[in-house]
């Protein structure tokens, strides 16, 4: 991992014709090309508003996002001035997990033309970025929808499954989690990544 991947300055939404375009008026050399490796992607902070737009285009199960109370942060992955992945983080929705050093990955969406292993790479970079943005964060958490995912990206990035909620309802309108109509209830697995120095 290159140092510039971790210290990159926030990437701002410049409101081009396409929300995937980072800087439509100032294309760099090679702009418009498609990355062949996730190592080519640059990951940095973006506005939550832009992240919500990108998530609505790419997320197959939870395209809607309403910010809960508390601080949300978002990150985007881009190459040649084009977005390929987006992630939105917030304090945990489960009240019992608040004030425990945990921060929750609420949405994680990847463009269909992103290179293979983009998700795992972005997760690895964000494990350094999130504590920088949210001091005091010691554990990252996320929930796997077992109906459509096998948890491969979390396992590849070193996360651990810690709990399964069977028959849980994904829809939590009051908490900012919405379902598509007729979406069936499925078990949810909570994955965690302990950032403590003594954990490898």
For the chain, domain boundaries: 3-194
The C-alpha atoms of residue 44 and residue 117 are separated, in whole angstroms, by 18
What are the residue ranges of helices labelled H in 86-171? 118-133, 152-156
Q: 3-194 belongs to which homologous superfamily? A: Gcn5-related N-acetyltransferase (GNAT) (3.40.630.30)
Q: Which residue has the tokens 């939870």?
A: 62
The predicted-structure confidence for 169-197, as pLDDT tens digits, reads as follows 444 444 444 444 334 466 789 999 999 87
Contacts of 12 by beta carbon, 8 Å cutoff, 6+ apart: 46, 47
The predicted-structure confidence for 29-73, as pLDDT tens digits, reads as follows 444 588 999 999 999 999 999 999 999 999 877 888 877 667 899
pTM of the model: 0.77
């Amino acid at each position: 991992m290159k140092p510039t991947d971790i210290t990159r300055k926030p990437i701002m939404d410049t409101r081009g014709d396409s929300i995937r375009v980072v800087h439509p008026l100032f294309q760099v050399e090679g702009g418009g090309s498609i990355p062949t490796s996730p190592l080519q992607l640059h990951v940095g902070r973006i506005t939550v508003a832009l992240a919500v737009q990108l998530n609505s285009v790419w997320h197959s199960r939870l395209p809607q996002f309403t910010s809960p109370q508390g601080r949300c942060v978002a990150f985007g992955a881009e190459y040649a001035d084009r977005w390929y992945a987006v992630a939105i983080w917030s304090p945990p929705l489960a009240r019992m997990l608040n004030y425990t050093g945990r921060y929750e990955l609420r949405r994680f969406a990847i463009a269909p033309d992103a290179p293979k292993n983009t998700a795992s790479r972005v997760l690895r970079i964000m494990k350094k970025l999130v504590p920088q943005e949210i001091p005091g964060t010691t554990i990252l958490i996320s929930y796997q929808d077992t109906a459509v995912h096998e948890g491969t990206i979390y396992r590849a990035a070193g996360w651990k499954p810690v709990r399964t909620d069977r028959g849980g309802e994904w829809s939590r309108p009051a908490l900012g989690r919405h379902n598509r109509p007729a979406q069936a209830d499925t078990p949810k697995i909570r994955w965690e990544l302990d950032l403590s120095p003594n954990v490898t």
